[in-house]
Structure 1
Amino acid sequence: MKRYGHGLVLGKFYPPHAGHHHLVRTAADRCERLTVLVCAASVESLSLEDRVAWMREVHPGVRVVGTVDDIPVDVNDPAVWDAHMAVFRAAVPGRVDAVFTSEAYGEELGRRFGAESVCVDPGRSVFPVSGTAVRKDPVGCWDFLEPPVRAALARRVVVLGAESTGTTTMAWALAEHYRRRGGVWARTRYVPEYGREFSEHKLTALRTLHPGASWEEVTFASKEFPLIARRQAQLEEEAARAGSPVVFCDTDAFATTIWHERYMGGLYPAAHEPRRQHLWLLTDHTGVGFEDDGLRDGEHLRPWMTGRFREELARTGRRTVELTGPHERRLATAVAAVDALIGEGWDLADPLPETP
């Protein structure tokens, strides 16, 4: 099989999928070095920076560069071709020996680069997927997506509330509910509350010094809360990368700001984490018995905490549904809210139109 010096793969990668990766891997196997050019238009929903980062992660041995290309597509217009080539050449100025594509325009692209055109699986028989199909139905194409793209597209649902209001029970029940749907949903993940694990470690450490110490003797430092928030965000990201189109989180970095108020009595000491979640489910304390599990002492603070969560969720414009009543009613309300979120789709903008 013929080998080449410098190969080129270009495309929108909007978003990248298994067919794109097959094309890149095929080209990389046949070239001494390979450049992947990500061409994004301003009208598209997924940023150029993200697409470049995703391709670099999946193909660490390949040079990946990006450019904005807002020129409409018309493969029959030489002037349009000239305009596109100016963009391509500015991004990839060196010699190109082979252009790898799965498209009919590959021959003309190769000719204009002065390179050989290599066509790879034009019928999409190896991976029957396209960017159009992914944008239209991410759930149906989920298995064709790599972890960073799944993490970007996954709908993230946060369950939060005051102490002993059923957040853990609800987050776990939701994950189980969607797993039972089978198929791609069977991989639905539950993200535990890292703050609880952190608290357990603090109590254990205190008891090594003072056997018999109780939770009331544990103290927190303000600087610990950003650490908890960052680790919570990391666990959420890991779950979103590995799971189904929805992930359920028992609290999130945002909720840590309220817990900081509860324990430290003041404002959160660091900037908030970037918002990547889509729905917040607030568990009301009313009618829920307080269970002291050895790491709780704030029964009297529950009305205040519920109010603070409600205020901050509203102030920051987060999409929120309150869960009240017995567990069965709460679960039904939560499932309806999550189904509505998923049913809205992903609303990924169409790329620039192509002239037939």
Structure 2
Amino acid sequence: MTRPLALALLGALTLAAPAGAQSAAALAKVDAAQMSIPAARQKSYPGSTLTVRQTLAAGVNYRRYVVSYLSEGLRINALLTVPNGTPPKGGWPAIVFNHGYIPPNVYRTTERYVAYQDAFARAGFVTLKSDYRGHGSSQGEALGGYFAPGYTTDVMNALGSLKRDSRVNAARIGMWGHSMGGFLTLRAMAIDPTIKAGVIWAGVVADYDGIMNDWNSPVPASIPRAVLELRQKAVAKYGTPGSNPAFWNKLSANSYLKDLGGPLQLHIGTADEDVPVLFHERLAAQMKAVGKPVQSYVYPGDNHDLTRNLGTALARSVAFFKARL
């Protein structure tokens, strides 16, 4: 076999690797210190032009597209909605939409969260729901959101892409996040105070001491052992949050709430089996302690997806963004 042919076949095999796969090389490069908020603030998140990959069936008063943008050179796919009609002066208000954990290899751009995104799209917002790296057809490797910085970087570059889009008013952008997406939303707001408002549903919004010690929900079987071991790797190098709080506090968005550029609205159900209500309550109290505006909604008996109160929670979320973006 000739060398060029061998290299071509190797490239084909690499491109054919399943989404969500983790290589030893990528895992070896991960260091928990990369999650530091001060370090994240030093990085640039320019995003790129949103490139249309597929035009989807339109919504009732908006258009839908599968688009892509660049994040650290990776092509990240996303679902974009754009209102019909003439944009207001300065452009449409926009929402970066951060989904929760879904096994990356079964994730699909046009599945899940459709009703959620539709509610904001109907209300006149541009929305952009990213397929984080390694999810669906996005390039890169899915290394989790809590001990590797990739998903945060992808969310920040989604924000950068919206800021440079002529249809969007860069001064009127908010974020919505569910579960792990709530973790990413809070981090993004701590990194970039230009984010005007955030709504978090059932968010993993504790500091690292809470994430490690107060989160007892079953670990999804779909998460690879190598990704789970990133936590052990971090503790072995830097100690626990209890033994080395100075290090872990720099990684936690909760340590930087005074820097948020806008208010938060928080939602959670008391029967949530995935995220403790304690996380929600602590964040609400922390926001009040630093003098930042926060709205807190706790739904008795409701689950992780707020199924029983979906319409109410969506209406409250839409109204919150309309008042602040």
How would you bin the TM-score normalised by the shorter chain? under 0.3
- For the pair shown, the structure with the greater C-alpha radius of gyration is 1
TM-score (norm 2): 0.26
Of Structure 1 and Structure 2, the greater helix share is in 1
